[in-house]
A and B are shown apart, each in its own frame.
Chain A
């Protein structure tokens, strides 16, 4: 669930636009360069973008008695890194803001920052750290996608808290917003992590060559997986 249209007052909506724009612009540059240098990444890029499309369209009920939706950005972050994933997120956010009145154009900067930049950055770093620590590949993917999803909504809560500090300060209102967003998101984030791990498994089994070339996985990880998995 994104911040709704018109719900970020001046100067916050401009600030988040200012922070997001350079990242997305650099993401577009990286994306063009990647496609030009290695065309075989294009289908995987489409799949990662489509994954964001599907997951962010599913509004799921949570244990809090309210609904929210996953982000699907963990997959893109793991394969392509946060820069390029920010571009994928913008595409979905614009679609939802223009056609669905979900999120908004004035809050696009803030929503891009939470879903397209902060979440993927967290996912990317977790994935790198987990694989480096020698965790199982799919467990690393699960952790990365789950925490990318959850971090997105923590950042949304921070953004709203900064714009709407309560009488006792921004931290009190952060707790109020996090109670809505972050708690609702916990079960959804776990489901997203599992689904992303499953999707990643299929991509590894079909195009491990591309993942190897992009240094997402190493030869030894693939060899280990091939040993244990039919």
Chain B
């Protein structure tokens, strides 16, 4: 992570993400996977352990009526988060730049 070697954190992050995608592609191409949620799988473990006798005693007060609407709400969650992060990082960046420009002008 120093200038001499030219390896930056961004490069490491890129490699890790590429490896992550490659792992997905490799697993995906071998065998059948459901890619279901880990919580659904935990549900299966629970019914195995209890012999299928466990009944959830409370159900969600609201269920997204379709997977489209569910993905909308998940996307909304991500969008709100990214908006806030982008706004403040951009704002700070501009403040830094304005400070630097001011000090060079003087």
Q: A residues bordering B, Cβ < 8 Å?
A: 1-7, 9, 43-44, 46-47, 49-68, 92, 95-102, 104-106, 136, 138, 153, 160, 164-166, 173, 176-177, 180-181, 184-185, 187, 190-191, 194-195, 197-199, 201-203, 206-207, 228-230
Contact B56 A7 (CB under 8 A): yes
CA A104 to CA B78, docked complex, whole Å: 19
Q: Could you list 18 further interchain pairs (A-B, Cβ under 8 angstroms) beyond the known A177-B42, A229-B8?
A: A1-B38, A1-B39, A6-B56, A7-B54, A46-B88, A50-B84, A54-B78, A54-B85, A61-B27, A66-B36, A67-B37, A95-B77, A100-B70, A138-B1, A164-B50, A195-B13, A197-B13, A230-B3
CA A208 to CA B103, docked complex, whole Å: 19
Contact A67 B50 (CB under 8 A): no
Note all chain A residues with C-beta closer than 8 A to B84.
Answer: 46-47, 49-50, 53
Within 8 A of A (CB), among B14-66: 16-17, 20, 23-24, 27-28, 31, 33-43, 45-46, 48-50, 54, 56-64
Q: What's the least CB distance linking A91 to chain B, in Å?
A: 11
Note all chain B residues with C-beta closer than 8 A to A187.
Answer: 20, 23
Contact B38 A181 (CB under 8 A): yes
CA A64 to CA B50, docked complex, whole Å: 24
Can you name 13 A-B pairs with beta carbons within 8 Å?
A6-B56, A6-B58, A7-B43, A43-B92, A54-B82, A54-B85, A64-B27, A99-B62, A99-B73, A100-B64, A165-B49, A190-B16, A203-B89
Q: Whose C-beta in chain A lies nearest to the C-beta of B85?
A: A50
Note all chain A residues with C-beta closer than 8 A to B39.
Answer: 1-4, 102
Contact B24 A61 (CB under 8 A): yes
Chain B interface: which size bin?
35 or more
Question: Which of A1, A53, A229 is close to B42, meaning CB atoms less than 8 Å apart?
Answer: A1
CA A185 to CA B41, docked complex, whole Å: 13
Q: What's the least CB distance linking A154 to chain B, in Å?
A: 13
CA A51 to CA B81, docked complex, whole Å: 6
Main secondary structure of the interface of A (DSSP, over half): helix
Question: Which of B54, B56, B78, B89 is close to A53, meaning CB atoms less than 8 Å apart?
Answer: B78
Contact A68 B3 (CB under 8 A): no
CA A177 to CA B73, docked complex, whole Å: 28
CA A54 to CA B74, docked complex, whole Å: 9
Note all chain B residues with C-beta closer than 8 A to A164.
Answer: 45-46, 49-50, 54
Note all chain A residues with C-beta closer than 8 A to B3.
Answer: 228-230
CA A9 to CA B73, docked complex, whole Å: 28
Interface-centre pick from B23, B45, B82 (highest chain A CB count, 10 A): B45
Contact A160 B46 (CB under 8 A): yes
Q: What's the least CB distance linking B25 to chain A, in Å?
A: 10
CA A174 to CA B47, docked complex, whole Å: 14
Q: What's the least CB distance linking B56 to chain A, in Å?
A: 3
Contact A206 B81 (CB under 8 A): no
Contact B35 A101 (CB under 8 A): no
Contact B74 A65 (CB under 8 A): no
